[in-house]
Amino acid sequence: MSEGELLSVLREFLWGAAMMAMPLLAAALVVGLVIGLLQALTSIQEMTLTFVPKLAVMLAVFFMTSSYMTRIVVSLFNTQVLPVIAQN
């Protein structure tokens, strides 16, 4: 395996990791913005008020998108790892 092939595989894996993290990060961003606006409007400065809803929403989003994440991992394995193993 040459350096170019290795870098190509690593780039695909990093892209896959970004695609798997996107739903979780988007959910955390939306919940953080909503809670931040509510805190600014009501002048409540409780730290757990931001942490607990973010954690709950991220867990829910993780369980809803776990099949999507699994498909990405299986696809990367079939298209990137298995051909390298078959070459050697």
Q: Using one digit for the tens of pLDDT, what is the confidence trace for 17-61?
A: 999 999 999 999 999 999 999 988 998 888 788 889 999 999 999
- Using only C-alpha atoms, the chain has a radius of gyration, in whole angstroms, of 19
Res. 5: pLDDT tops 90: no
Closest alpha carbon to 56 in 35, 83, 42, 77? 35
Task: Report pLDDT for 2.
Answer: 83
Among 7-11, 12-16, 82-86, which is the least confidently predicted range? 82-86
Is 80 exceeded by the pLDDT of residue 83?
Answer: yes
